Chains A and B, each alone.
Chain A
Amino acid sequence: NAGVTQTPKFQVLKTGQSMTLQCAQDMNHEYMSWYRQDPGMGLRLIHYSVGAGITDQGEVPNGYNVSRSTTEDFPLRLLSAAPSQTSVYFCASSLGQGWVNEQFFGPGTRLTVL
């Protein structure tokens, strides 16, 4: 199993550009989520999904969209990038709804918005 994979690893955008961060898992996990990691703030939940077709907002959803058309994939879209979205983004997945299950994290995407 590849586990949780994320692409790209690095990305530089200009303000106003849009892009999609890709996340995929091959463990047949129901639960997937996106976090952003900023210095001194830990990881903050952006959006999460408890299964295909179901998504919900986390702590910091503004400026981000998600969809979950398949169990395997959970892309994160930035519609109009802003410098405040400069961060490291982690995707995670877990079996079931995550209540009693360990979350597995991807390697991260480092995004810089100029």
Chain B
Amino acid sequence: AQSVSQHNHHVILSEAASLELGCNYSYGGTVNLFWYVQYPGQHLQLLLKYFSGDPLVKGIKGFEAEFIKSKFSFNLRKPSVQWSDTAEYFCAVTAGRNTGKLIFGQGTTLQVKP
């Protein structure tokens, strides 16, 4: 069964620091990859997604992610974080063409200190 693993459970950064959150998935076939964000007290919102094409995808609020097929990874990056980026971040994957099932990672809590 496919699974998603996020390596960092809790990350604390100062404003302007660079961010990289790791995400690895286990599935040998074609996948769609997503990063969702959940701000405190709010529901999940899509940050970015990868379906095909350029493996470097750009999302909202200055986030980007790189799909490295050989490493089964889809790491999220941001060059300079802001206090407003404090949130929980989830990596997710759908696999196979006949299902819309999203499999989520455990989530990473990001705390940005002002």
Taking beta carbons and an 8 Å cutoff, which residues of A are in contact with B?
31, 33, 35, 40-45, 48, 50, 58-59, 90, 92, 94, 96-103, 105-108
A61 to B24, CA, bound (A): 25
Q: Find chain B residues with CB under 8 A from A59 CB.
A: 103
Interface of B is mostly: loop
Q: Find chain B residues with CB under 8 A from A105 CB.
A: 36, 43-45
Whether A108 pairs with B43 at a CB distance below 8 angstroms is yes
- A-B interface contact total, Cβ < 8 Å: 68
Q: Name the one of B36, B98, B104 contacting A97, with C-beta atoms under 8 angstroms.
A: B98
A35 to B43, CA, bound (A): 12
Q: Find chain B residues with CB under 8 A from A106 CB.
A: 43
User: Given A41-B106, A42-B105, A102-B49, A97–B43 Cβ distance below 8 Å?
Assistant: no
Q: How far is the CB of B42 from chain A (nearest CB, A)?
A: 8
Q: List 27 A-B contacts (CB under 8 A).
A: A33-B100, A40-B107, A41-B106, A42-B4, A42-B90, A42-B105, A42-B107, A43-B102, A43-B104, A45-B101, A45-B103, A90-B43, A94-B100, A97-B99, A98-B99, A98-B101, A98-B102, A99-B32, A99-B96, A100-B51, A102-B34, A102-B46, A103-B100, A103-B102, A105-B36, A106-B43, A107-B43
Indicate whether B61 reaches chain A with its CB closer than 8 angstroms. no
